[in-house]
């Protein structure tokens, strides 16, 4: 019996020891896990010291007249740069990945130079300095190889004599250099061709050099380009040979206020994904190509101030594919002629601007069947008859019929703005 009791005591001790070991293991694991979670939480809220110092050097090179960077500093309550205004960090690593210091008002602009200390931020993916007043050479940014989004638009004093540095930013998907002087960047087409992931390109008002050669697109070129703004650059029709390489991907194209001449190319009709096309203030002439009937997703077409010598009803026939999608049509100052045609097949039409053409006849009653029409501009034509009953336009907010040959009303009454 005594031997049996001893054996039981030994067995119970073994079980106790086993349970004790398991409990201690679980407690240790929980403690270690807690430390790990706390460490991860710390990484979420505290930036890397080296990167914090780099941001402070960046700030020191700026003139901040309005205290936009007042949250940036070395005080104890400002040490976490991940909480600074305009700065974003990776939640797990603490690395700075976002700098967004765009200005929406002239009086809030930051001034000064872009400090080379930014190059310490090797994990930076998003840099937006839009509408400030920086003055520096931006080529140094070539070393920020992880950038996906770069917006330096509106900084009129930035310098850039070439765009070769863009080839080091192969991850770029959004690039906006609007108003940056690129008049010496003769390599701009080749440089853009070397950005395989580029989706949005805005180079408006950059004084871009004319295209004299047409470098072939490399194998990994930007086949995904969907938004292109090259407006206000005095570009000639030589841009077409490069532009139409992206026919299948482009959604928004703005080539307004350039020096495009001659007929509108048929190749625009091959841009089957196109939703917005702006070609206003050029020297395009003739008729709209029949190929435009292929643009079944077209929502906005702006050909304002060109020389389109055809009748308006013929023009509209070329847009038959967009009858269900077209919302905005601007064709003012374009030498279109003929009477006002039936617009009702464009059931989604919101804005129609056809002022200062050579349109004649009366305003058809059928306009009342455009339930979405908000703005109608027919001023400066040869429209006759009486001012129509405004009940014809159930949703109209703006109507401009000035400078026509309408009867019975004073000229100043031909323009009306309706109150919501």
Instruction: Report the CATH number at residue 289.
Output: 3.80.10.10
Banded model confidence at residue 15, pLDDT cuts 50, 70, 90:
low
pLDDT of amino acid 32: 43
Mean pLDDT of 76-83: 91
The structure's pTM equals 0.86
Q: Is residue 167 part of a domain?
A: no
Q: Is residue 86 part of a domain?
A: no
Cα–Cα distance for residue pair 369/373, rounded to 1 Å: 9
With 90 as the cut, is the pLDDT of residue 406 above it?
A: no
Banded model confidence at residue 280, pLDDT cuts 50, 70, 90:
very high
| CA nearest to 332, candidates 367, 360, 307 | 307
Contact 278, 258 (CB under 8 A): no
Question: 89: which strand partners?
Answer: 96
pLDDT of amino acid 3: 37
Mean pLDDT of 42-47: 60
Mean pLDDT of 230-240: 96
- pLDDT single digits (tens) 222-234: 568 999 999 999 9
Q: Is residue 237 part of a domain?
A: yes
With 90 as the cut, is the pLDDT of residue 321 above it?
A: yes
**DSSP codes, 235-259:** --GGGHHHHGGGTTT--EEE--SS-
Q: Is residue 267 part of a domain?
A: yes
Domain that holds residue 267: 226-420
Q: How many domains is the chain built from?
A: 2
Q: For the chain, what is the mean pLDDT?
A: 86
Mean pLDDT of 295-309: 97
Q: Is residue 15 part of a domain?
A: yes
Q: Is residue 194 part of a domain?
A: no
CA angle 148, 191, 118 (to 5 degrees): 45
With 50 as the cut, is the pLDDT of residue 41 above it?
A: no
With 50 as the cut, is the pLDDT of residue 237 above it?
A: yes
Q: 398-401: long-range contacts (C-beta < 8 A, 24 or more apart)?
A: 398/374, 399/375, 400/355, 400/376, 401/363
Contact 319, 297 (CB under 8 A): no
Q: Is residue 263 part of a domain?
A: yes
Task: Give the torsion sign (CA, 283, 319, 342, 395).
Answer: negative
Q: Is residue 151 part of a domain?
A: no
State the DSSP code for 137: B
């Amino acid at each position: 019996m005594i031997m049996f009791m001893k054996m039981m005591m030994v067995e119970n001790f073994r079980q106790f020891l086993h349970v004790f070991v398991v409990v201690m293991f679980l407690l240790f694991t929980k403690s270690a896990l807690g430390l790990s979670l706390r460490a991860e939480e710390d990484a979420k809220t505290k930036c890397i010291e080296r990167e914090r110092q780099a941001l402070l050097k960046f700030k020191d090179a700026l003139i901040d007249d309005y205290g936009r960077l007042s949250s940036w500093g070395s005080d104890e309550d400002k040490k976490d740069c991940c909480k600074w205004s305009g700065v974003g960090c990776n939640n797990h690593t603490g690395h700075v990945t976002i700098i967004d210091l765009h200005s929406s008002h002239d009086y809030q602009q930051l001034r000064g130079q872009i400090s080379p200390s930014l190059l310490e931020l090797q994990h930076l993916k998003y840099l937006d300095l839009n509408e400030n007043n920086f003055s520096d050479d931006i080529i140094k940014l070539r070393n920020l190889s992880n950038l996906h989004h770069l917006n330096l638009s509106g900084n009129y004093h930035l310098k850039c004599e070439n765009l070769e540095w863009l080839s080091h930013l192969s991850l770029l998907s959004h690039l906006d250099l609007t108003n940056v002087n690129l008049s010496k960047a003769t390599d701009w087409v080749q440089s853009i061709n070397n950005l395989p992931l580029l989706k949005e390109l805005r180079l408006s008002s950059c004084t871009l050099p004319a295209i004299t050669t047409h470098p072939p697109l490399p194998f990994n070129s930007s086949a995904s380009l969907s938004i292109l703004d090259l407006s206000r650059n005095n570009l000639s029709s030589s841009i077409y040979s490069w532009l139409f390489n992206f026919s299948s991907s482009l959604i928004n194209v703005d080539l307004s206020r350039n020096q495009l001449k001659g007929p509108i190319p048929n190749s625009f009709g091959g841009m089957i994904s196109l939703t917005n096309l702006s070609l206003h203030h050029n020297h395009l002439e003739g008729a709209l190509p029949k190929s435009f009937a292929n643009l079944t997703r077209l929502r906005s077409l702006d050909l304002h101030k060109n020389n389109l010598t055809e009748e308006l009803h013929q023009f509209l026939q070329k847009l038959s594919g967009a009858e269900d999608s077209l919302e905005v049509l601007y064709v003012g100052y374009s030498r279109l002629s003929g009477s006002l045609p039936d617009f009702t097949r464009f059931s989604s039409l919101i804005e129609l601007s056809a002022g200062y053409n050579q349109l004649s006849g009366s305003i058809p009653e059928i306009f009342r069947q455009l339930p979405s029409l908000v703005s109608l501009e027919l001023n400066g034509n040869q429209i006759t008859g009486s001012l129509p009953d405004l009940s014809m336009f159930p949703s109209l907010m703006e109507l401009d019929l000035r400078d026509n040959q309408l009867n019975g009303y004073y000229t100043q009454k031909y323009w009306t703005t309706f109150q919501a």
